[in-house]
Structure 1
Amino acid sequence: MAMTAPPTTVDRVPVTRRRVRTIKVYWPVAEETLTAASAGDLDALRRDDSFAALLRVLESTPELGDFGVYGDVFEVAFGAEGFTVRPGARPSLGTVGGRFLSTTLAVTTYVDGTLDDDALAPVLARLVAAHPWEIPVLELSAPLDLVSRA
């Protein structure tokens, strides 16, 4: 017969769930910005002209990153994006025919999962309009539950 452990205090912590969608956007930054931010210098993100445009959108769009007593919430993953520039492109980095590597931040934020398409469209349009790439890369998740303390 298997024995079960008695519930711990952690087992009794009340949790709440809310419906959200994640928006993940890949954003180019200067190599110096990537290095400084990975060392903990978050002000480096504001000093980077490209990333500062994203911060302005986050700060001026109340639907993005709303966690009640916390606002403009976003997460950053450090990385690089490789690509080949094909004929017809107007790249912000590189030249036609070349293969390039861009220092990039993958930025994830959240939006209310109950927003309908009409309410979500201007939020996504603001992100696309601020993005420096010819073809911005944004991922929008299906609605999911975000779990936190009650």
Structure 2
Amino acid sequence: MTAMTVPGTGRRDAIRRRSVRAIKVHWPVSRRTVAAVGAGHVEALGDDDSLAALLRELRALPGVGDFGLYQDVFEVSIGAEGFTPKDGALPAFGAVGGRTLSPTLALTTYIDAAAGEDEISQILARIVAAHPWEVPVVELSAPLELVSRA
């Protein structure tokens, strides 16, 4: 724990630095879900059956999204995934040879950087198994520090 002077206030606030790894999952959703999430309707996350399956997986994984006083912590970003399926692909959305733009939410959550590689591999395997895309886009960061109030 570190105490820092807050610039311009003269106040000293204790901060906590925690080493974590980010897990970011790109997930296809309907345009309706994108609009509802953009409007701040949290229930829309459960209205999409496929996305609800991901959220259930994340909640079931020990240590994922654990922020002490808060649990099940994740961030949602709205976007679109662009791709062109090649011959041999079995796209869940779009068609072979056609340029496609799929409405997508990116969910980011965190796990303690001290988690073992076996634990992290099991978490990623469960996410990939639940993913509807033939080639899921799941990012795992190198260890990074989150900063919060102590």
Same fold at TM > 0.5: yes
1:15-73 deviation digits (Å, cap 9, x = unpaired): 01111000111011111000011001110110101111111111111221011121111
Residue 6 (structure 1) shift:
7.5
Q: Percent identity?
A: 58
**Could you tell me which residue of structure 1 aligns to residue 58 of structure 2?**
58
CA contact (8 A) 1:21 1:142 kept: yes
SS in 2 for 1:36: helix
In structure 2, runs of 5+ residues without a counterpart are 1-6
Cα drift, residue 119 of structure 1: 1.7
Alignment correspondent of 1:103 = 103
Are residues 119 and 99 of structure 1, via their aligned partners in 2, closer, same or farther at CA, if it must alter by over 3 Å?
Answer: same
Amino acid in structure 2 at the alignment position of 1:108: T
Secondary structure, aligned partner of 1:128: helix
SS of residue paired to 2:123: helix
Q: Unpaired segments of 5 or more residues in structure 1?
A: none
Moved beyond 2 Å, runs of 4+: none
1:146 corresponds to: 146
Deviations 1:95-127 (A, max 9, x none): 111111100011110001011211211111111
Is 1:49 aligned to 2:46, yes or no? no
| Number of residue-to-residue matches in the alignment | 144
- Residue 3 of structure 2 is matched in structure 1 by none
Report the TM-score, using the length of structure 1 for normalisation.
0.92
- 1:28-39 aligned at under 5 Å gives the runs 28-39=28-39
TM normalised by structure 2 equals 0.92
Pairs within 5 Å for 1:48-87: 48-87=48-87
Aligned residue for 2:63, secondary structure, equals coil
Report what 1:89 is aligned to: 89
3-state SS, counterpart of residue 54 of structure 2? helix
d(CA) in 2 for partners of 1:121, 1:79? 26
Deviation digits for residues 55-93 of structure 1 (CA, Å, limit 9, x no counterpart): 111111122101112111100110111110100101100
Backbone CA RMSD of aligned residues: 1.3
Does residue 132 in structure 1 map to residue 138 in structure 2? no
Secondary structure of 1:41 counterpart: coil
> Helix, strand or coil for the counterpart of 1:13?
strand
C-alpha displacement at 1:145, in angstroms?
1.1
Residue equivalent to 1:8 = 10
